[in-house]
Structure 1
Amino acid sequence: MYLKSLYPSVPSIPDQNYHHALFSNPQQANLPDYTLHIDGLNGRRRGRREFDERMRYGATVLAAPQDQGGLALDGQSGDIVGIYSTNCMDYIVLEHSLLMIATPFALISAYSTEGELLHALRTIKPSRLFVHASLWEQAVSASSHLGISLDRLHVLEGHVEGKKNFGDMLEYARRCRVPKIQARPANKDTLAYLVFSSGTSGLPKALMISHGNLWFTSMAMVIYTQEEMKTIKMPTTPPPPMVWLAALPFHHSYGLHMFCLRGFLYPTTYVILPRWDATQVLQVIPRYKINMFAVVPSVLHKLVHSDALEKTDLSSITNVLCGAAYLQPQLADKLKQYLKKTPQISEGYGLSEVTVSACLKPSPGVLGGLQPVPGSCGILLPGMEARILREDGSDADVDEPGEIWLRGGNVALGYYNNEDETKGTFVNGWLRTGDKVRADASGTLFFVERMKDTLKISGVQVSPTEIENVLLSQPDKLVTDVCVAGVPGVRSHDEKVPRAWVVLSEAGVRMGDATTVQRLDAWVKQNLSSYKWLRGGIEIVDEIPKLPTGKVLRRVLQKRHEKDARTKTKL
């Protein structure tokens, strides 16, 4: 099945630095000053003009010769700057300063274990590494293992004895009147940044995102927004900037684009938290009257099951955007109970290999009357094409699940220093996603599951997601979270059978473990064919392990189960 976006086309990608698209167009030049960033913990504010000036001094201190107090960075010479930090104001300043001088940066997860940090540093081999003070010791330890000298490590924000932070470096350039660096040229294939894939299978891979990818993604979002605006009665005077909560990690594609890049397309105020903390989130929403609430399913799950949510004033929230992982309909419905001004939760589908997004759910009436479909992830964004293919490579029919391949100007350049993975994933301009979806006759897409998660039992494919949804729909509401994955069966060690890990609700706890497991098992047998039954058992756990982005780590539970099984065998 072939699909093409229903939106107007995206113009040709220009050969220019993406910095120009954000900061050098006439619309940006005429913007009035406004509050761009607010530190959600201490209330410190930074205006748009102050940010612009700080960015230009940042570019100067990064690119100026060393004899002028600069770092002499040059992307054309192969320099790459690593960023290992929690969310903070100067994180965004640093990124845009590097884009301005066409020197790529690499985003490293602030949640990294020592092994993950070592892998990231080995992969990117940074010329310089900017580190938040709270992560300094981990960075020094990992760098020493790899022979990275301490003089290549810099403090991004916070204080480390004997080291200047990024703000100190900017102040030095300002005080000494170091000549300001102008934006450097770049073309559409110039590397802009590296972002690590989630690593749910194998070691994480560093994706190469170009200046052209960023330009295409931004223009697609502008076209999407313009079409959305046609369905809304616009006010006679310009509205004040929307206020977003920026609590999801900046090192992930979702947080990077939502909070660090798209905020310059339209006047927006971001309230920044260093990392997701439910208590802090529920405090800042009413304090700063948050309008736009961007979440991932894992943090949303914890919020809606928090007693504090009912006591929090959420009346300012008008828009909710959920991404990075599949949002269960039951979870969306539960959130809507608390939101009176939000008609729908915006959902989409994307992955870092397409920079950030491939499709989004449209507003009612867009494109001449299209309606959003509950449970879907929307329609293709401007400029996107898709194919949905069966296992044999033939086109799937309408409403038939298959692997989705994507094509557009947002498809990444490939994996950094990983030719084999690049060849297997990026094929003749198409991206093989490894995700199974289906599309209805209108072109609306429905996520089914990751193909690698699919089980094959007696030659028949079994969807863990389907079993998870059945467990969550049990009428006594005995569980709040669930994961289903394959474990070795009794008949054959090679054949995997479904096993469920569940987090009990208060109702489930009251009923007791044994009775709850019996009820859940009976419900599955009542609603699913026998080959989908939980022959691997049901295990009660305190929490389902997930990445900060919300993706479930099935392999962690599978390995834990296999280890426990080996231990019992020895006994």
Structure 2
Amino acid sequence: MYIQSPFPPLPPVPQTNLFNVLLRRPDQAQWPDHTMYADGLTGRKVSFLQHVDRALDAATALSTPEAEGGVGITDGELVGIFSENCLDYIVLVHALLAITVPFSLFPSQPTSLELEHVLNTTKVTCVFVQPELLTGSIEAFRRANIPDDRIYILEGSSQGKLSLGDLIDRVRTSRIPRVSVREPKKDCLAYLVFSSGTSGLPKAVMISQDNVRFAIYQAIVVTMSIREVYEPPPPPTPHGFPVALSILPFYHSYGLHFTMFRTLLPSVVVVLPRWDMDLAIDIIQKHRVTMASFVPSLIHQLVNSPKFKKADLSSIQSMLSGAAYLPPQLADKLTSLTNPAAILAEGYGMSEGTISAMTKPIPGLLDGRFDPLPKCTGVLIAGVEARVVREDGSEAGFDEPGELLIRGGNVALGYWGNEEATEETFLPYGWLKTGDRFRVDKKGIFYFEDRGKDTLKVSGHQVSPKEIEVVLLAHPENLLVDASVAGVPGGRTSDEKVPRAWVVLSDEGKRLGANSVQRKLKAWTQKSLSKYKWLRGGIEIVDEIPKSPTGKVLRRVLQERYAQSLSTQSKL
């Protein structure tokens, strides 16, 4: 079936550099020079005009030829960003957008194997790295043929390396003429963000400047519709501006957009380098935070924290939950502990759709035609069309589960350097296969059914079972002949599943013994994979992996057997 967004259509989206849309809009000329970003650890503050100047000076440093004191980044280059959240991360992103140089967002805590995959996939020519991450990554950069003089420090210092701050200071002291903001061509690549997709190793999603501009105007239309039924009260802050808490990683679409691309109104964004529950609670109280974005696993931690329950959270006026399904009971507990009058927004999106495709409507929105039901995902946001199809590609009926396909100006360009995966996911006529199963009722309200093709969501991150299987089978002692990974209960919420492995031993594995193999595989995966990909569901040794006649692994059979074993144990 075919569904259109119930929101008003988007106004004409200006065909200009994203930098102008973010930081040089006509309305911003009337803004007071307020604090725009603040470092939650150091207390350092940067005003709106200071940030704009710093970004433009960084753009000048990056694009000015080396002979004239700059970095000399030219057309065709790709810059890597390898860092935890920090203020200069934002400066660098805005600067690269201004000169239309694409960048790749690297996960900030990859293993050596994951970093090698990211470098081999992107083939970045220059990288900005956090000082604390440099020592452990320098050899990987060299193996990727990145020259030492093209490895820069993002924020802070490291002996023998220039930092972004050094480059900006050089522009200012040498009075290098400031470069102009470049006008992008159609489909100008803005950045690469890694997504596990539905199978295999993480893929680099290509997001264009057009995609991000479209997403910003989608947010404007939705916000204007909300304001017709809900006008937020004045922010209870000393300076009178909203204060946002930024704790989600910038290398994730959610954190990137929330912190850097939603500059719609004057506000203060307090940035933390990483998730720290106690520190986040302190920041909410100290800065009188009015807006915060979370993922369900973080919400689960907060609502079960004695410190959170005792904290003064009355300043919070709005919260956003995304990246995974939020159980209604968890949502209710969050609002009851913060401010019962606060708006809790939920939605659905994916990196391949830039950021968002659905939002859960608040009461009264769109003339009250879509007042939300407890378990619904939401309605399509402005500018999005959708289809729900059966496995054979035919249109599903109302309330019939099927795969969700979406279309709109927010659909990405494809996967970087992976034509096969692009053709599988990005279909003709602009349709994107989400890989997720939904049903939709006659009103156009969508309900999430399950994650298609076995991709898991752990702590808001996509986890590909196939990636873990590849790592298991790559154990240097050749312990296995077959392996399968699927999700089983055990996450922080009832909806969240964690990876569990079923493995078939090789002759070497059998000689070693089951217990020894399990210990070795656990150590190997924890060495090779990020923590959220670890096999928290355990490792089970089996005689064979069930497969269909065509060779497809029947993961659901393994999951059902596991569920049955748990049920049997509970009855003993």
Q: Report if TM-score (shorter chain) is over 0.5.
A: yes
Determine the C-alpha separation between the residues in 1 that align with 2:274 and 2:138: 22
Q: Deviations over 1:216-264 (max 9, x none)?
A: 10111111111111112477999932111001101100000001111x2
Determine the C-alpha separation between the residues in 2 that align with 1:36 and 1:134: 26
Determine the C-alpha separation between the residues in 2 that align with 1:343 and 1:373: 18
1:134-145 map, 5 Å: 134-145=132-143
Mapped pair 1:247 → 2:226 = no
Determine the C-alpha separation between the residues in 2 that align with 1:155 and 1:45: 20
Determine the C-alpha separation between the residues in 2 that align with 1:565 and 1:39: 54
Alignment check: 8 A CA contact 2:131 2:154 kept = yes
1:348-367 map, 5 Å: 348-367=347-366
Aligned to 1:330, the other structure's residue is in SS state helix
Alignment check: 8 A CA contact 2:198 2:452 kept = no
Which ranges in structure 2 are unaligned for 5 or more consecutive residues?
467-480, 494-524, 545-572
Does 4-13 or 64-73 show the bigger shift?
4-13
1:390 is displaced (CA, Å) by 1.3
Determine the C-alpha separation between the residues in 2 that align with 1:374 and 1:323: 16
Does 319-328 or 371-380 show the bigger shift?
371-380
1:159 is displaced (CA, Å) by 1.5
Determine the C-alpha separation between the residues in 2 that align with 1:298 and 1:393: 34
Determine the C-alpha separation between the residues in 1 that align with 2:318 and 2:224: 17
Alignment check: 8 A CA contact 2:13 2:217 kept = no
**1:565 to 1:502, Cα distance in 2 relative to 1, 3 A:** farther
**1:249 to 1:101, Cα distance in 2 relative to 1, 3 A:** same
**1:188 to 1:267, Cα distance in 2 relative to 1, 3 A:** farther
Match in the other structure for 2:128:
130
Which ranges in structure 1 are unaligned for 5 or more consecutive residues?
455-463, 469-482, 487-492, 506-544, 567-571
Alignment check: 8 A CA contact 2:86 2:155 kept = yes
Match in the other structure for 1:377:
377
Specify the code of the residue in structure 2 equivalent to 1:410: N
Aligned to 1:562, the other structure's residue is in SS state strand
Match in the other structure for 2:496:
none
Alignment check: 8 A CA contact 1:130 1:153 kept = yes
Match in the other structure for 1:258:
258
**1:265 to 1:565, Cα distance in 2 relative to 1, 3 A:** farther
1:158 is displaced (CA, Å) by 1.3
Match in the other structure for 2:451:
450
Determine the C-alpha separation between the residues in 2 that align with 1:116 and 1:497: 18
Regions of 4+ moved over 4 Å: 233-239, 493-501, 550-553, 563-566
Alignment check: 8 A CA contact 2:80 2:103 kept = yes
2:190 aligns with one of 164, 189, 192 = 192
Alignment check: 8 A CA contact 1:324 1:551 kept = no
**1:443 to 1:64, Cα distance in 2 relative to 1, 3 A:** same
Q: Deviations over 1:489-520 (max 9, x none)?
A: xxxx9999998443799xxxxxxxxxxxxxxx
Specify the code of the residue in structure 2 equivalent to 1:442: K
Match in the other structure for 2:35:
35
Alignment check: 8 A CA contact 2:357 2:384 kept = yes
1:350-499 map, 5 Å: 350-370=349-369, 371-428=371-428, 429-453=430-454
Mapped pair 1:95 → 2:96 = no
Determine the C-alpha separation between the residues in 1 that align with 2:148 and 2:482: 49
Determine the C-alpha separation between the residues in 1 that align with 2:488 and 2:126: 45
1:551 is displaced (CA, Å) by 12
Specify the code of the residue in structure 1 equivalent to 2:282: Q
Match in the other structure for 1:562:
540
Alignment check: 8 A CA contact 2:454 2:486 kept = no
Alignment check: 8 A CA contact 1:188 1:213 kept = no
Determine the C-alpha separation between the residues in 2 that align with 1:494 and 1:31: 61
Match in the other structure for 1:113:
111
Q: Percent identity?
A: 43
**1:399 to 1:278, Cα distance in 2 relative to 1, 3 A:** same
2:152 aligns with one of 151, 154, 167 = 154
Alignment check: 8 A CA contact 2:151 2:161 kept = no
**1:392 to 1:185, Cα distance in 2 relative to 1, 3 A:** same
Specify the code of the residue in structure 1 equivalent to 2:276: D
Specify the code of the residue in structure 2 equivalent to 1:287: K
1:344 is displaced (CA, Å) by 4.5
1:447 is displaced (CA, Å) by 1.3
1:32 is displaced (CA, Å) by 1.5
TM-score with structure 1 length normalisation? Answer: 0.80
